[in-house]
Chains A and B, each alone.
Chain A
């Protein structure tokens, strides 16, 4: 549904997005993570044809957004952080206005969408009287109007209270379950991303620094924690024996294909290397994200 190939965006010489590639398949909920200014919103802007890429190709629903924006966005809905509307008009009129930029939309469809997001009864009120949560629902309604197959959500929970965040999370799950939508979600709420997304990509300073499955992230990317008195010696020996492929942070090992922790213990005992503990490493998306974007410690800090 979404395909970015070697996309680069420069603003007046400043690199905002640097050679980013990733793809989102049909039915996925894909999380786009990164610090403020990492390039997430610029990447989303390029997906929606609002920001012109300096280089690279962006395809949405099979169409190049730069060359064929109309076809590419025909089945796309989007929500941005802090949804903005014409406050002096009613929710109904706002939806009517926004729908005309896609295709003729019947009143029945408007009513259906208003009902789906739970705004029935308030649609004729002016938007300036809406709470933040109601604005979010209206934003969702406008995104659903064109019967989208792909929904792009740029920090949709921004500014919501805990109940609002919970409601938004449930709504996203409903969208997937009831409407079968593919969703790209950009968020700072890592707990939310962990609960919602199948796959994530992490951006840092305009570059993509990780892309993978949330399940793999949780399982520590297949890493095993090894506690031993001499990790360097143990890891060197285990690599020589072909039991592991890689090590990280002087505590994690990556098992070679077809090997398990019992093989490692057996080999270390045979080589008289003490094993104080060995277990499958598990982590939250937050742990993983923080370890990924943590600046490398200076040598003097070691």
Chain B
């Protein structure tokens, strides 16, 4: 029964046009960034950086390098927006539309209903990340050759990898990106379980992430960076370091899993106590 309910939840989710806004926006953003990288000084500045460090830039401006270059700003800016948009809708939109009342005259427990909805949200997050990675590579391959990988994120990564190693790490990094997106969905889902409009749930979740990001970057809080979830979101870049700092990655993943579970539980408790009225 759980899988039948999950399947139907996915039908509901992917039957809505607004679910595809994120996918569409990523495609547009990727196209724009790819053209910007190719035809502005963005590419030449990266080449200077490589040449300045003693590498032959022509070997490293490749499909994999450009894929990651495109991913970094999208993960930081667009991913939270579209993950929270869908997460904020999961419960609050049904309550606003009135369909939740129709569901809750059925003998399904509120906890189970929420678990089904949350699972659908997590599946959406994973699909969004997979699509993002796949299209980033597909688009980059149109204009750039296959070759070695260079990953540069100020203060977080400066890595030179072979094409084979780079591809494997690029694929693995998406597991961690999927976790990031799931946490974003979970935070928005938590707010969605309270008695509020879907837009309010999305805005609150975005605000929460934004405040976390701002505080993390204030020098005063440098020693407290582990308390900010946006700090742990960056662990996906660690996968490109050599050697891979697995303990630090797993620490972040465990913290992110705990945040996700806590958000789900808080949302469930709030929803359990709520009166569902027209």
B-binding residues in A (CB < 8 A): 11, 41-42, 45, 48-52, 69-74, 76-78, 80-86, 88-89, 93, 96-98, 100-104, 142, 146, 152
From the candidates B1, B107, B277, name the one contacting A70 in the complex (CB within 8 A).
B107
> If the complex has contacts A86-B12, A104-B1, are A80 and B276 also in contact, measured as CB distance less than 8 A?
no
Is B11 on the interface with A (CB-CB < 8 A)?
yes
> If the complex has contacts A50-B275, A50-B277, are A98 and B16 also in contact, measured as CB distance less than 8 A?
no
From the candidates B12, B97, B113, name the one contacting A101 in the complex (CB within 8 A).
B113
Q: Can you name 20 A-B pairs with beta carbons within 8 Å? A: A11-B275, A41-B278, A42-B277, A48-B104, A48-B105, A50-B105, A50-B276, A69-B107, A69-B109, A70-B109, A71-B107, A73-B107, A77-B105, A80-B101, A80-B102, A80-B278, A93-B11, A98-B103, A101-B106, A101-B108
Inter-subunit contact B105/A76 (CB<8 Å): yes
Q: Please, how many angstroms separate the alpha-carbon atoms of A25 and B139 in the complex?
A: 67
* Residues of chain A with a CB closer than 8 A to B4's CB: 100, 104
Q: Please, how many angstroms separate the alpha-carbon atoms of A93 and B12 in the complex?
A: 9
**B249: min CB distance to chain A, Å:** 38
* Residues of chain A with a CB closer than 8 A to B12's CB: 86, 89, 97
Inter-subunit contact A52/B275 (CB<8 Å): yes
Inter-subunit contact A73/B106 (CB<8 Å): yes
Is B15 on the interface with A (CB-CB < 8 A)?
yes
Inter-subunit contact B1/A100 (CB<8 Å): yes
**A181: min CB distance to chain B, Å:** 15
Inter-subunit contact A84/B98 (CB<8 Å): yes
Inter-subunit contact A78/B105 (CB<8 Å): yes
Inter-subunit contact B107/A50 (CB<8 Å): no
**A278: min CB distance to chain B, Å:** 48
Closest A residue by C-beta to B6:
A100
Inter-subunit contact A97/B107 (CB<8 Å): no
Is B262 on the interface with A (CB-CB < 8 A)?
no
Interface residues on B, range: 20 to 34
17 other A-B residue contacts (CB within 8 Å) besides A11-B275, A84-B99, A152-B105: A45-B276, A50-B277, A51-B275, A52-B273, A69-B107, A69-B109, A73-B106, A74-B107, A77-B105, A80-B278, A81-B278, A83-B102, A84-B98, A89-B11, A93-B11, A101-B113, A104-B4
Is B8 on the interface with A (CB-CB < 8 A)?
yes
Q: Please, how many angstroms separate the alpha-carbon atoms of A72 and B5 in the complex?
A: 21
* Residues of chain B with a CB closer than 8 A to A69's CB: 107, 109
> If the complex has contacts A50-B276, A51-B277, are A97 and B8 also in contact, measured as CB distance less than 8 A?
yes
Inter-subunit contact B8/A96 (CB<8 Å): yes
**B268: min CB distance to chain A, Å:** 15
Q: Please, how many angstroms separate the alpha-carbon atoms of A62 and B2 in the complex?
A: 27
* Residues of chain B with a CB closer than 8 A to A78's CB: 105
Inter-subunit contact B276/A86 (CB<8 Å): no
From the candidates A77, A81, A84, A104, name the one contacting B97 in the complex (CB within 8 A).
A84
Q: Please, how many angstroms separate the alpha-carbon atoms of A71 and B109 in the complex?
A: 11
* Residues of chain A with a CB closer than 8 A to B104's CB: 48-50
* Residues of chain B with a CB closer than 8 A to A84's CB: 97-99, 101-102
Q: Please, how many angstroms separate the alpha-carbon atoms of A50 and B113 in the complex?
A: 13
From the candidates A45, A93, A142, name the one contacting B102 in the complex (CB within 8 A).
A142
Closest B residue by C-beta to A70:
B107
> If the complex has contacts A11-B275, A52-B275, A84-B97, are A100 and B107 also in contact, measured as CB distance less than 8 A?
no
**A79: min CB distance to chain B, Å:** 9
**B31: min CB distance to chain A, Å:** 28
**A298: min CB distance to chain B, Å:** 35
Closest A residue by C-beta to B98:
A84
* Residues of chain B with a CB closer than 8 A to A96's CB: 8
* Residues of chain B with a CB closer than 8 A to A11's CB: 275
**A260: min CB distance to chain B, Å:** 49
**A32: min CB distance to chain B, Å:** 15
Inter-subunit contact A80/B98 (CB<8 Å): yes
* Residues of chain B with a CB closer than 8 A to A88's CB: 15-17
Q: Which of B251-278 contact A (CB under 8 A)?
A: 273, 275-278
**B65: min CB distance to chain A, Å:** 41
Q: Please, how many angstroms separate the alpha-carbon atoms of A23 and B30 in the complex?
A: 63
**B221: min CB distance to chain A, Å:** 38
Q: Please, how many angstroms separate the alpha-carbon atoms of A241 and B188 in the complex?
A: 75
* Residues of chain B with a CB closer than 8 A to A73's CB: 105-107
Closest A residue by C-beta to B9:
A97
Closest B residue by C-beta to A143:
B105
Q: Please, how many angstroms separate the alpha-carbon atoms of A82 and B97 in the complex?
A: 11
* Residues of chain B with a CB closer than 8 A to A85's CB: 99, 102
Q: Which of B1, B98, B278 has the most CB of A within 10 A?
A: B278
